[in-house]
Structure 1
Amino acid sequence: MSKPGPDESQESVKSSKSAKSVEAEGSGLLFNKSYLLFKIDLFVLSFVCLQYWINYVDRVGFINAYISGMQEALHLKDDDLNVTNTCFTVGYIIGMLPNNLLLLVLPPRIWLSFCTLSWGLLTLGMSQVHTFGGCCAIRFFQALFESCTFSGTHLILGSWYKESELPIRSAIFTSSGLVGSMFSGFMQVKIYNDLNGRYGMSGWRWLFVIDFCITCPIALYGLLFFPGVPEKTTNGKNWLSMKRVIFTDQELQYARRRLPARDESLRLDWSVVPRVFKKWHWYLFSFVWVLGGENLSFASNSTFALWLHNQGYSLSHRNNYPSGIFAVGVLSTLLAAIYLSKYRKARHWHVAIFIAIAMCIVAIMIRTNPLSPSIMFTAQYLGGIGYAGQAVFFAWANVVCHEDLQERAIVLASMNMFSGAVNAWWSLVFFSASTAPHFEKGCYALLSTAIASGIVSIFIRKFQIGDYGRQEQLAYVDANDIIEDYDDDNDGEEGERTHRSTTV
């Protein structure tokens, strides 16, 4: 028997490649699917997580500074904290939609890095503030730049990851912000103990200086290493970028092709208005996150820190004990993501109902006996479950709106924008610092939003099923189709793959 020739041997090797390897058409270059996903996680997920982490370190740092001497130094009254938070919320609302739309026309790595550096400089400015008006002004402009992070990142994650990959990545992203909240509290205690009075500057002022020193390297890292979206590197938008070193054009093409197909004829013009308003997506997702955002009001308005301050707990306890809420938030967010990723029959609305029930229990416990430390600690920590809604609802919107990039950008921004718009006055009415330690109005408000969020989630699922019934679902376009008829990423659904050659 004769030995196979070089060409035959090459074909034999190629045919033995598993579904994890892909041959780029016309290039002869082999790359590994798992390694590509690893690189996406390493450079996409790492930057957005670092950015969101320092975003929350800076944001929660203001609360920690307030209860660590700022209130007394600047002669702030109780409700001044809520007013400054409202100024922040107004800036956040104003910046939300423009930031998401700018990400469609400007390189995301440049815009997100610029915004990160900008709010870092404003954080440094907070270390020199001496008046209540100065606090309000800086917080407003901080929010304008910080509003690029949350919904903008979910837009970018939806451009890189499949539906099956999104829950875990969204959970890791949102958890990074919660870790930042925990870190800020611990850091404030350490700074106060070690730096208070150093060079004539109070410990709470040193917190803002150190926050700035951490923020700048993250902005630089994003400018150099964050790849933005999976577009080709052969254009003038990639100056100072390592994108062309990290990814080949074939890898970026595959990164686009492996996602669900979307209508590439749709553009960011006035046609987006009727496209958005004629569908239910914008209305119900915006509404459900208004409710979901207010389910977090006990945590987001620092009611536990206020309660601890009211009850005479020490400064270290006021900074450290609330970290338990964020720890529960991280755990519940990751567990929700694992449930959605690993269980075939799992649905987003299942998690939404669970969160609604947990928030009802929190409201009832606090209303029943707010002066009991055991009840307040248990209820506040249990309330951390509400943070799982951040990853769940935004990942859900990413999936439902995947066909229209511009609609998806507007829906994701609107969810956060309307939630912030309601929270701007909601916190003043129901969770003002003067209502501590009973928070009676806040308990009734939380009970209402929890029940309503569960009901709206059921309606969203009903309309989502209706969409599935009216149109054929678009299959993932996988470059492995070039080689094999079966892709092990499809969880054993043999025979149902639709072969395509269209580039997404």
Structure 2
Amino acid sequence: MGILHKIRVAVWGKPPPTKAESRLLLKIDFFILTYVCLMYWVNYLDRANLNNAYVSGAKEDLGFKGTQLNQINTIFYGGYMAGMIPSNLIMQKVPPRIWLPTTCLCWGFLTLGTGFTQHPWQIMVIRFFQGFFEASCFVGTQWILGSWFKPAEIGKRTAIFTSSGLAGTLFSGIMQGSIYTNLDGVSGLAGWRWLFVIDFLITFPVAIYGFLVFPDTPSSTRAKYLTGAEKTLAIERLPEVDKQRGVLGWSLIRRVVLSWHWWAFVLLWIAGSNTEMYSSNAIMQLWLKSTGDYTVQQVNYIPSSVSGLGIVATLILGWYSDYNTRNRWHVGIFLSFTAIISGALMLSPPTRAAKFAALILNGCQYAGQTVFFAWANDLTRKDDAMRSIVIASMNMFSVAVYLFWSLLFYNTTQAPDWYEGNWAMIAMGCFLFVVTIVCYLLQRRQEKQEAMEDNSWGSPIEKIELDGVKA
């Protein structure tokens, strides 16, 4: 029993102190995590499918030229950037159980439409709106997880959530390879078109499931599977919130802009997300296709190894961040080194195996999604509205950098070496190292201030009593 308990604590954290809290945690783990993981899985499935379709016949069928694929990805992230803060602000007023499944349904229909396009410009229009609706998924879920789970619980849950997105990327490549083999030409549709149709058929029931089970936030939930006592416990078990959900206005802008959290964590995620560039720009797929040595199926299957390592790194580092909540900065240092190493290897790979190693190693960078957002969630818990803006801003500004960074350093005309991109990867790795240290020092300062407040004198009676003791 002792060994099993230690394993349980190492893997899933300390069990709740009461049976009532254990039952509550089991319920919210099941209903929240199943939906957000399925939603993020189809989110990445729908997002990654364009790169897989491009190398599976869409480039030739639609007449892609030059950097049009990069332009489409840039337009997608333009919509994505435009949707993040509005989405989190909307959820301050509209129940998340309505908003999140609605946006999932919208991007599902847009994915279906992509399968019937006839020109790259049509995809550009669709992907802008798809990006706008998909923006709700990641930042909205990060805010929801911070609303329900304790600081020592959130890292591993965030790891599971972000891993589900990587699983979508992994599955998209495998699915496209299988579709190309089995459905190419069926009913007059090319295999790459079937990918978008099947994506929609998977996305639609996930959205319906969200309408049925998603519980909102602890203070607003109407979930029938939670008792009245459990709804009260869901609020009481978390640190007290000074500013509750829905507190908007000019005071919110002042609270956000004057806080160190907004500036520091935005810079942290700009650095962290832009060390994912090899993976997010489908560099391995484009390189494999450029060699002419691999079949369409292999070009889709082999890059799944990047997502596979990303899942492993995300789970391990997410678990570590919960085990050592005050030292989440360790992960930032680790990821800065993996970025620098992968960029250095890509600069002058001695063998083809070394190039594979560099591109696969870059999958580790996905772990930043878990740890950096858990870190920000922890340190902004006392202000729900500000927390939602900080989290949304982290993603929004990182995407703003992505819009031009990918075109400058990782566009298709720079294949197969991406020399400038390799130097950009090394630079971002170094930047990540510096910003991680800055965030850690600011965290230390915040902890000292909070400790001083906790130890400050209480009521006048307490002061008299304590003065009497001193006398």
TM-score, scaled to structure 1: 0.85
Query: Which residue does the alignment assign to 2:183?
Result: 195
Match of 1:35 among 12, 23, 37: 23
Match of 1:349 among 329, 339, 344: 329
Query: Which residue does the alignment assign to 1:276?
Result: 256
Distance 2:452 2:432 in 1: 27
Residue 393 of structure 1 aligns to which amino acid in structure 2? F
Query: Which residue does the alignment assign to 1:5?
Result: none
Query: Which residue does the alignment assign to 1:319?
Result: 300
Tell me whether 1:422 sits opposite 2:410 in the alignment.
no
Query: Which residue does the alignment assign to 1:298?
Result: 278
CA contact (8 A) 1:44 1:226 kept: yes
CA contact (8 A) 2:20 2:230 kept: no
Residue 180 of structure 1 aligns to which amino acid in structure 2? G
Distance 1:61 1:355 in 2: 27
Query: Which residue does the alignment assign to 1:146?
Result: 134
Tell me whether 1:329 sits opposite 2:317 in the alignment.
no
Residue 261 of structure 1 aligns to which amino acid in structure 2? E
1:3-18 matched pairs, under 5 angstroms: none
Tell me whether 1:107 sits opposite 2:88 in the alignment.
no
Query: Which residue does the alignment assign to 1:205?
Result: 193
CA contact (8 A) 1:232 1:253 kept: no
Distance 1:473 1:164 in 2: 23
CA contact (8 A) 2:16 2:22 kept: no
Query: Which residue does the alignment assign to 2:209?
Result: 221
Residue 382 of structure 2 aligns to which amino acid in structure 1? E
Match of 1:460 among 423, 439, 453: 439
Query: Which residue does the alignment assign to 2:385?
Result: 406
Distance 2:352 2:231 in 1: 54
Q: Which moved more, 1:334-343 or 1:55-64?
A: 334-343
Distance 1:19 1:99 in 2: 33
Residues 301 and 474 of structure 1: CA distance in aligned 2, closer, same or farther (over 3 Å)? farther
Match of 2:233 among 228, 231, 254: 254
Shift of 1:265: 6.6
Distance 1:96 1:212 in 2: 22
Shift of 1:19: 7.3
Residue 308 of structure 1 aligns to which amino acid in structure 2? L
- Give CA deviations for 1:314-345 in whole Å, capped at 9, x if unaligned: 1111101111011111101111122122347x
- Give CA deviations for 1:22-50 in whole Å, capped at 9, x if unaligned: xxxxxxxxx62212111101001110110
Residue 332 of structure 2 aligns to which amino acid in structure 1? A
Residue 178 of structure 2 aligns to which amino acid in structure 1? K
Residue 271 of structure 1 aligns to which amino acid in structure 2? S
Query: Which residue does the alignment assign to 2:413?
Result: 434
Shift of 1:190: 0.9
Distance 2:166 2:338 in 1: 19
- Give CA deviations for 1:418-451 in whole Å, capped at 9, x if unaligned: 0101101110000001111111000110101101
Query: Which residue does the alignment assign to 1:24?
Result: none
Residue 250 of structure 1 aligns to which amino acid in structure 2? A
Residues 186 and 473 of structure 1: CA distance in aligned 2, closer, same or farther (over 3 Å)? farther
Residue 375 of structure 2 aligns to which amino acid in structure 1? W
Distance 1:205 1:471 in 2: 56
1:3-152 matched pairs, under 5 angstroms: 20-21=17-18, 32-152=20-140
CA contact (8 A) 1:260 1:474 kept: no
Distance 1:68 1:387 in 2: 25
Distance 2:322 2:143 in 1: 19
Residues 361 and 218 of structure 1: CA distance in aligned 2, closer, same or farther (over 3 Å)? same
Tell me whether 1:362 sits opposite 2:342 in the alignment.
yes
Distance 1:122 1:385 in 2: 30
**Percent identity of the aligned residues?**
42
Shift of 1:270: 1.3
Residue 423 of structure 1 aligns to which amino acid in structure 2? Y
Shift of 1:231: 2.8
Distance 1:199 1:265 in 2: 53
CA contact (8 A) 1:45 1:173 kept: yes
Residues 365 and 112 of structure 1: CA distance in aligned 2, closer, same or farther (over 3 Å)? same
Shift of 1:232: 4.9
- Structure with higher Rg: it is 1
Query: Which residue does the alignment assign to 2:372?
Result: 393
Distance 2:412 2:240 in 1: 49
Distance 1:249 1:374 in 2: 58
Query: Which residue does the alignment assign to 1:500?
Result: none
Distance 1:179 1:276 in 2: 34
TM-score, scaled to structure 2: 0.91
Distance 2:358 2:173 in 1: 20
Shift of 1:179: 0.4
Distance 1:341 1:156 in 2: 17
Distance 2:453 2:57 in 1: 57
Distance 2:310 2:44 in 1: 14
Distance 1:265 1:127 in 2: 43
Query: Which residue does the alignment assign to 2:8?
Result: none
CA contact (8 A) 1:197 1:203 kept: yes
Residue 461 of structure 1 aligns to which amino acid in structure 2? Y
**4+ residue stretches of structure 1 with deviation over 3 A?**
18-21, 472-475
- Give CA deviations for 1:281-311 in whole Å, capped at 9, x if unaligned: 1011111111111100011001111100111
Residues 19 and 151 of structure 1: CA distance in aligned 2, closer, same or farther (over 3 Å)? closer
Shift of 1:369: 2.1
Shift of 1:471: 2.2
Q: Which moved more, 1:265-274 or 1:119-128?
A: 265-274
Q: Secondary structure at the match of 1:164?
A: helix
Distance 1:222 1:152 in 2: 13
5+ residue gaps, structure 1: 1-17, 22-30, 476-504
Residue 435 of structure 1 aligns to which amino acid in structure 2? Q
Shift of 1:472: 3.4
Tell me whether 1:185 sits opposite 2:173 in the alignment.
yes
CA contact (8 A) 2:373 2:391 kept: yes
Residues 474 and 204 of structure 1: CA distance in aligned 2, closer, same or farther (over 3 Å)? farther
CA contact (8 A) 2:244 2:383 kept: no
Query: Which residue does the alignment assign to 1:27?
Result: none
Aligned length: 438
Query: Which residue does the alignment assign to 2:7?
Result: none
Residues 197 and 403 of structure 1: CA distance in aligned 2, closer, same or farther (over 3 Å)? same
Distance 2:73 2:435 in 1: 28
Residues 265 and 67 of structure 1: CA distance in aligned 2, closer, same or farther (over 3 Å)? closer
Q: Secondary structure at the match of 1:471?
A: helix
Q: Secondary structure at the match of 2:382?
A: coil
CA contact (8 A) 2:243 2:385 kept: no
Distance 2:81 2:255 in 1: 22
5+ residue gaps, structure 2: 1-14, 455-471
CA contact (8 A) 1:232 1:252 kept: no
